[in-house]
Amino acid sequence: MIREDLREKRLFFDGGMGTLLQEKGLKAGELPEIWNLEHSEEVISIHQAYIEAGSDIILTNTFGANALKFHDGVYSLEEITKTAVAHGKEAVRRSAGGRNVYVALDVGPTGKLLKPMGDLAFEEAYEAFREVMQYGEEAGADLIHIETMSDTYEIKAAVLAAKENTNLPVFVTAVFDERKKLLTGADVPAFVSLLEGLRVDALGINCGMGPEQMIPILEELQRYSSTPVIVKPNAGLPKQRDGETVFDVEPDAFAQTMRKIAGSGAAVIGGCCGTTPEHIRAMTAVCLEIPYEPAGKKNLTMVSSYGKTVIFGEESKIIGERINPTGKKKFKQALVERDMDYILREGIRQEDNGAHILDVNVGLPDIDEVSMMKEAVTALQGVTSLPLQIDTVDPRAMEEALRVYNGKPMVNSVSGKQESMDAVFPLIQKYGGVVVGLTLDETGIPETADGRVEIAERILKEAEKYGIEKKDIVIDVLAMTVSSEPQGAIVTLEALRRVRRELGVHTVLGVSNISFGLPFRPVINANFYTLALYNGLSAGIINPSSEDMMQSYDAYHALMGLDENCSRYVAKYGAKAAAQKEAAQREAAQKAMTQETAKSLGNAVPGGEKGAEMLSGELTLKTAIERGLKEEAPQMADALLKTEQPLEIINTYLIPALDHVGKGFEEGTVFLPQLLMSADAAKAAFEVLKVKIASEESGTEKKEKIILATVKGDIHDIGKNIVKVLLENYSFDVIDLGKDVAPELILQTAKEQEVRLVGLSALMTTTVASMEETIRLLKKELPECKIMVGGAVLNQEYADMIGADFYGKDAMKSVYYAQELLK
């Protein structure tokens, strides 16, 4: 019923509950929800006052009622929730006088931050919401209003809980700040994309600020939202007076601004903290006459992450293709070993090189793709704010990834095959997403552009049945290899042009397929990419680390007037040109001088001191590592490879340099940042040598495994990460279990991997208990395994007390202990 209402008229919410309860005697620190049972009449009378003031929707007194907050109280969550809804309905019975007034189950945030930043698992948040929502529906609530949210991920858990466990309409509002963002980083389009993907009935803003300050956010919401917008401000900006928070916008002033807000198109309006029935009465009085117009369709193709939104448009987008094992030996190995860091670094590198979206494909025949996909998506969204493209043919992996994804993803892909559409579209319908439609069907890939356009049309039509709009489909007309199909490129380009112009949908293309079987592929790829861009490619799936491709991209946008004043081009290539010039000068200088003269010139040589040292040969690999020169160290390692064997290089330069720095650290002449810079430089050099070693020898030497983990309950991992970097330098194989790790997982891994040393880290007294528990379990089940511990609150005495074998006062001490024990 409320859904029909939203199409026809503006609806009025109620105002604040907390302040009114306080006036009636609620004390600071007392839980307002308890009042549903202990002070029923007071609660009902507040509802009545709002109904009489003109509210069409009243919110139950259940803001903090969720399974996390009410698990061991005097009253059960069920009692609290059901009574709250009953009070709302009773107030309607008493005061609505035949008018339609809806009782909305009020659902506030859990007050906890979700993983990876906090310690609440997505599924736990979901469960906490599910319970209260089910009670709410059972008690007869008319809708669910999820409000005062600060985190898109928590919002997603709440909306899924509502959608999967009830049939009620869902409204969602969040707290934006003056930067027009949520506390956890989402901007307005990211918030809108996520919620429209999940198909909520209305969305908007509440709390945090007064009506005046909400106007810019409302404008932004209306720019992106095709869904009715809710605005529920406080009675002004919160002010501190004598240490208390007060709101000082009076009812009339409040109403006047709300009038403006209604006039600019807000569909559901009401008040939050500090607003009273008087505010609502004044508001409804002046807003009733304002004509109502439902939100218009925006037709924007948007994908989002927790903190970024990518909107398809004239400028083409870059989808990074590197997170994909196809044809990549190292990536395959990383997948098999579940080396998540490798995958994450691949993601960060692409972001740094200019990708807008990251494709994520972790399918390998011999791994569990469902769990791997879930893990990869979760981990990636913890380190990059780029939207992800979930790339899999397994519908189960697709669903798991869609579920845990914090935003509105791209999904790669659906095809014109009925079976594919039957499997994929329901998932898009449920979770939201922009899906890539491949122009192939049961008969294969059509040879003509006509054939591909026809399949694209069929995909769009089928999608419509699920309510999936054109804006949420992007078409891939497929690039065929020109070496085997002479007309391949021409047909693809024509299909691209027509899909874009005739069907009016956006397009993607895996660009580099075009050059299979040809020599020097980058030439073909880059030129085909330019042609594709010119023919309407909205997003190319490419390797952003490929300079040729990026040059095509940058040049195209500069040439086509899509890079204003060529400013991006100039910024990027201006710096490059300068660097090239300098390098050329240095080379000339090098030619002109003998090593001796170079030495005497010192700083005068282009490139400064380092340049001079490199020329003179004074900067050896050893000194480069000692000084932590991350750029130079691998170059020097590479140069040395011309004359020396990799193992020789490691033993003559790398290890002595690390020992030297480590000793300095112990003696207090080298400090932590320097120690780590050296470690990073050594690692970079080692990467170069490793390639050579791998190509020459069949099997490398077997490394000792060490488990590192931050104990359960502890979310600080910087100390553990420092130890990890250093241990890896000394060629230990570190199994990093991350932070907040359960004792059982540590034990299980130690058993499976036959690990002889476990390193545990804990930051606070509160988590040392969990360290002790882990040690106890390991000692009992795996007595031969040694345990070293470290962390801010620990000392030798404490470590002895909890039964650790070794206390690592600093990172180097842990390395020495590991060496002594395992080598």
At residue 543, what is the residue type? N
By CB under 8 A, tell whether 358 contacts other proteins: no
CB atoms within 10 A of CB 333: 12
CA angle, corner 580, sides to 578 and 583, nearest 5?
110
By CB under 8 A, tell whether 29 contacts other proteins: yes
The rounded distance, in Å, linking the Cα atoms of 761 and 784 is 20
Shortest Å distance, C-beta 530 to other proteins? 31
Shortest Å distance, C-beta 31 to other proteins? 10
The residue among 328 and 716 lying less far from other proteins, judged by its C-beta, is: 716
By CB under 8 A, tell whether 662 contacts other proteins: no
Residues 126 to 165 in contact with other proteins, rule: CB under 8 A: 148, 150
Q: What are phi and psi of 269, to 5 degrees?
A: -130, 155
Which residue in 478, 400, 392, 383 sits closest to 435, CA to CA?
392
Residue 663 structure tokens = 């000793």
User: What are the strands, taking DSSP E only, across 212-256?
Assistant: 229-232, 239-241, 244-246
- Give Cβ neighbours of residue 402 (< 8 Å, ≥ 6 apart): 390, 409, 411, 427, 430, 431, 433
The rounded distance, in Å, linking the Cα atoms of 270 and 16 is 9
The rounded distance, in Å, linking the Cα atoms of 605 and 682 is 26
At residue 251, what is the residue type? P
Distance of CA 481 to the CA centre of its chain: 35
Shortest Å distance, C-beta 771 to other proteins? 11
Residue 703 structure tokens = 């490394």
The residue among 639 and 718 lying less far from other proteins, judged by its C-beta, is: 718
Residue 442-461 contact track with other proteins, rule CB under 8 A, x = bound: --------------------
Shortest Å distance, C-beta 668 to other proteins? 8
Candidate list 616, 770, 774, 814; residue touching other proteins; CB under 8 A? 770
End-to-end CA, the chain: 73
Residues 619 to 638 in contact with other proteins, rule: CB under 8 A: 627-628, 630
From the list 104-112, 292-300, 406-414, 566-574, the region that binds other proteins by CB under 8 A is 104-112
The residue among 87 and 683 lying less far from other proteins, judged by its C-beta, is: 683
By CB under 8 A, tell whether 790 contacts other proteins: no
> What are the residue ranges of helices labelled H in 290-328?
none
By CB under 8 A, tell whether 28 contacts other proteins: yes
At residue 344, what is the residue type? L
Candidate list 121, 490, 718, 801; residue touching other proteins; CB under 8 A? 718
The residue among 55 and 184 lying less far from other proteins, judged by its C-beta, is: 184
CA gyration radius for the chain?
A: 31
By CB under 8 A, tell whether 240 contacts other proteins: yes
Residues 722 to 751 in contact with other proteins, rule: CB under 8 A: 722, 725
CA angle, corner 190, sides to 104 and 13, nearest 5?
20
From the list 360-368, 382-390, 496-504, 775-783, the region that binds other proteins by CB under 8 A is 382-390
The residue among 290 and 340 lying less far from other proteins, judged by its C-beta, is: 340
Question: Count residues contacting other proteins (CB under 8 A)?
Answer: 63
The residue among 27 and 823 lying less far from other proteins, judged by its C-beta, is: 27
By CB under 8 A, tell whether 677 contacts other proteins: yes
At residue 152, what is the residue type? T
The residue among 6 and 113 lying less far from other proteins, judged by its C-beta, is: 113
By CB under 8 A, tell whether 382 contacts other proteins: yes
By CB under 8 A, tell whether 688 contacts other proteins: no
Residues 158 to 217 in contact with other proteins, rule: CB under 8 A: 175, 177, 179, 183-185, 207
Shortest Å distance, C-beta 364 to other proteins? 22
By CB under 8 A, tell whether 22 contacts other proteins: no
Shortest Å distance, C-beta 153 to other proteins? 11
By CB under 8 A, tell whether 607 contacts other proteins: no
Candidate list 237, 364, 383, 562; residue touching other proteins; CB under 8 A? 383
The residue among 434 and 768 lying less far from other proteins, judged by its C-beta, is: 768
Candidate list 519, 673, 699, 783; residue touching other proteins; CB under 8 A? 673
Distance of CA 135 to the CA centre of its chain: 32
From the list 297-305, 342-350, 471-479, 516-524, the region that binds other proteins by CB under 8 A is 342-350
For 411-446, b where at least 16 C-beta lie within 10 A, e where not — what string? bbbbbbbeebbebbbebbbbbbbbbbbbbbbeeebb
- Give Cβ neighbours of residue 587 (< 8 Å, ≥ 6 apart): none
Q: How far is CA 242 from CA 29, 203, 361, in A?
A: 18, 35, 57
The rounded distance, in Å, linking the Cα atoms of 154 and 159 is 9
CA angle, corner 508, sides to 503 and 514, nearest 5?
115
By CB under 8 A, tell whether 263 contacts other proteins: no
The residue among 558 and 676 lying less far from other proteins, judged by its C-beta, is: 676
For tokens 């907040």, the residue is: 740
By CB under 8 A, tell whether 239 contacts other proteins: no
Candidate list 157, 468, 679, 682; residue touching other proteins; CB under 8 A? 679
For 559-570, b where at least 16 C-beta lie within 10 A, e where not — what string? eeeebeebebbe
By CB under 8 A, tell whether 341 contacts other proteins: yes
The rounded distance, in Å, linking the Cα atoms of 477 and 140 is 50
The rounded distance, in Å, linking the Cα atoms of 727 and 512 is 39
By CB under 8 A, tell whether 674 contacts other proteins: yes
Shortest Å distance, C-beta 766 to other proteins? 4
Residue 299 structure tokens = 């037709």
Candidate list 90, 339, 454, 680; residue touching other proteins; CB under 8 A? 680
Shortest Å distance, C-beta 26 to other proteins? 12
The residue among 384 and 512 lying less far from other proteins, judged by its C-beta, is: 384
Which residue in 360, 507, 376 sits closest to 436, CA to CA?
507
By CB under 8 A, tell whether 244 contacts other proteins: yes
CA angle, corner 30, sides to 26 and 36, nearest 5?
70
Q: Is the dihedral of CA 666, 671, 672, 673 positive or negative?
A: negative
Candidate list 113, 195, 280, 495; residue touching other proteins; CB under 8 A? 113
By CB under 8 A, tell whether 25 contacts other proteins: no
The residue among 451 and 790 lying less far from other proteins, judged by its C-beta, is: 790
Pairing of strands 229-232, 202-206: parallel
Candidate list 78, 86, 116, 551; residue touching other proteins; CB under 8 A? 116
Which residue in 327, 353, 323 sits closest to 341, CA to CA?
323
Give strand pairing partners of 240.
245
Which residues contact other proteins by CB under 8 A?
Answer: 27-30, 109, 111-113, 116-119, 148, 150, 175, 177, 179, 183-185, 207, 238, 240, 242-245, 341, 344-345, 348, 382-385, 627-628, 630, 668-669, 671-674, 676-677, 679-680, 713-718, 721-722, 725, 763-767, 770
